[in-house]
Amino acid sequence: MKKETKSYLITETTDFAQKINDRIAIGKELLSQQITSDEALINFRNEVSKWLDYNLELLKISFDNPDNEYRKDFKKNHFIAGNIGSHSLYEDVERKKKEVSSYIKGLEKILNKLDLIPVKGIK
């Protein structure tokens, strides 16, 4: 059985916390958008995709192990908005917003335990 090693934060805790708070704020801005057309939904999906990609990269470069447990947990513990079947615009928007909301919760989980995450070079 392979023993997993604990990943270390390689950036200042306060800087990392600010970046996570900023990402949460942007996610909440995404949730507040009013989507009333297919074109707006396409734009919303693109914005969500860019937001998610940035979040994953931030979690990758902020730790000594790019494939760290925090990034893995963030990726797997979220609502997956599938595209099975045809749905109304309202259903598509609600499904995508649930996905964003679950990712926000993932970022909040990291923020809530930030004081427990070891920092490289600090014992």
Say if CB 44 and CB 96 are below 8 A apart: yes
| 118 pLDDT tier (thresholds 50, 70, 90) | very high
Do residues 4 and 72 make contact, with C-beta atoms less than 8 angstroms apart? no
**pTM to 2 decimal places:** 0.88
For the chain, the distance separating the N- and C-terminal CA atoms, rounded to the nearest angstrom, is 27
pLDDT class of 88 with cuts at 50, 70, 90:
confident
pLDDT score of 84 more than 60: no
Q: How far, in whole angstroms, is CA 95 from its chain's centroid?
A: 16
Q: What is the mean pLDDT of the chain?
A: 90
3-state helix, strand, coil in the chain (%, to 5): 65, 0, 35
Distance CA 47, CA 36 (A): 16
Residue 90, token pair as written in the block: 């309202």
Position 123 pLDDT exceeds 90: no
Average pLDDT over residues 17-34: 98
Q: So where are the chain's domains?
A: 13-116
- Does the pLDDT of residue 83 top 60, yes or no? no
The mean pLDDT of 28-45, rounded to a whole number, is 95
Positive or negative CA dihedral for 10, 14, 19, 23? positive
Confirm if 17 and 111 have CB atoms less than 8 A apart: yes
| pLDDT of 37 | 93
Is residue 96 packed enough to be buried (19+ CB in 10 Å), middle (13-18) or exposed (0-12)? buried
Which residue in the block uniquely carries the two structure tokens 């392979």?
2
